[in-house]
Amino acid sequence: MYVIGLSVFTAASAAAALSSSAEALIVARVVQGAGAATVLPLTLTLISDAFPAGKRGAAIGMWGGLSGLGVAAGPLLGGAIIEGISWQWIFWINVPVGLVLIPLSALRLRESRGPRPQLDLAGLGLIAAGLFALTWAPVRAPVTGWGSVEVVAWLIAGALFTAAFVAWERRAPHPMLPLSYFRRRGFSTANGVVFCQFLSLLGALFLITQLFQTGLGDSPLEAGLRILPWTGMPMLVAPIAGVLADRFGNRPFMVLGLTLQAAGLAWVAAVTEPGAAYGDLVGGLIVAGIGIAMCFPTVAGAVVASVPAADTGVAAGANNALREVGGVFGIAIVAAVFAGNGSYASPSSFIDGFKPALYVSAALAAAGIVAGLLAPGRPRTEAATTIAAPDLVAAREPK
């Protein structure tokens, strides 16, 4: 599945680069997103399978650091490509990387499988429909309004499909997501933390990149360079946080990480004024970046440690889905706050909308601190992660 995901992502990247219309580009991006959605949770699954519990925090910390490198390089590399070559090369650069990784993954990765003898197709269809509706509603909200019939109808549809999914999973013979996992503090609190973190993070990323270009007049490349102290922190801090989490547990790093993320974003909001100097902003960006970096590996480590070893793929997939839904809602929320207070008409009117919207992003990160405080305080042992969940026992028993 990992190799298939890489192949789909690589082919779709080429299709996006070759697209000659907005419609063709959107279709290619949909397919590219499907490939990425296959790859991303499986990276965590493969790492968890390859390392014993005692070394897993360090490995996931390195994973978080490399994820941070991608986040840091994206705006910077994207800005350089747009200014120096053309937008198509944003997609072309994925192709040689994919062509190298596909055969290496097929030859070098150790195979592993989950415990279910068959797919839960009914559950998959219900939750896919529910998440699509819940995602589409905030995407449309800035255009039609949160109180519009369209948005309310999509939200209701999403809630109904999700409720139907929960009802089905309670009686499914081989549930895709055993609901008993949500009774485990490690699983439920880690998912709560990542939802709130990305509710704040993606909205803030959208705002801050716009601030440097629209509010302060920087070019795309200059904006990428200026946010590097923020987006680059996971590359430096996440590996350290992952190693320390093996010794001290995940909870202190999740709590401190969200606290710093909220404080850093509030700092940036407080000092942003028309013509603000970069030196006034960079301190807040660094503080927020350190906080983000503390959460990246510890949330991932907490969620995979909270389920049986054979079900780390399920845990990673659920965590990834909640992260993406949180990001979509976060962008929609800050866009609504921005639109209610400012506009793109001038740098000063942009900043009028930016400040309250970024304060909201900071508050969304702070809301996740509650979930972090409720997380288990000590790291789990290898024995604890190998006990089969009750939902899966029947699947393993001989017929």
Give the pLDDT confidence of 186-229 residue by residue, as tens digits: 888 989 998 999 889 888 888 888 888 888 887 777 777 888 88
Average pLDDT, the chain: 83
pLDDT (average), residues 229-251: 81
Task: Tell me, yes or no, whether 56 and 13 share the same domain.
Answer: yes
Give the pLDDT confidence of 49-89 residue by residue, as tens digits: 777 766 766 777 777 677 766 766 776 777 777 777 778 88
The DSSP annotation for 124-147 comes to: HHHHHHHHHHHHHHHHHHHHH-TT
* Inter-residue contact 308 to 389 (CB < 8 Å): yes
Percent of the chain with pLDDT over 70: 89
For residue 149, the enclosing domain spans 121-171
Task: Tell me, yes or no, whether 153 and 94 share the same domain.
Answer: no
Task: Tell me, yes or no, whether 317 and 383 share the same domain.
Answer: yes
What is the total count of domains within the chain?
2
Task: Tell me, yes or no, whether 136 and 33 share the same domain.
Answer: no
Task: Tell me, yes or no, whether 275 and 363 share the same domain.
Answer: yes
The DSSP annotation for 291-347 comes to: HHHHHHHHHHHHHHHTS-GGGHHHHHHHHHHHHHHHHHHHHHHHHHHHHHH--SSSH
What is the spatial distance between Cα 41 and Cα 192, in angstroms, rounded to a whole number?
17
**Where is the domain boundary, 139, 171, 203?**
171
Percent of the chain with pLDDT over 90: 29
302 pLDDT above the threshold of 80: yes
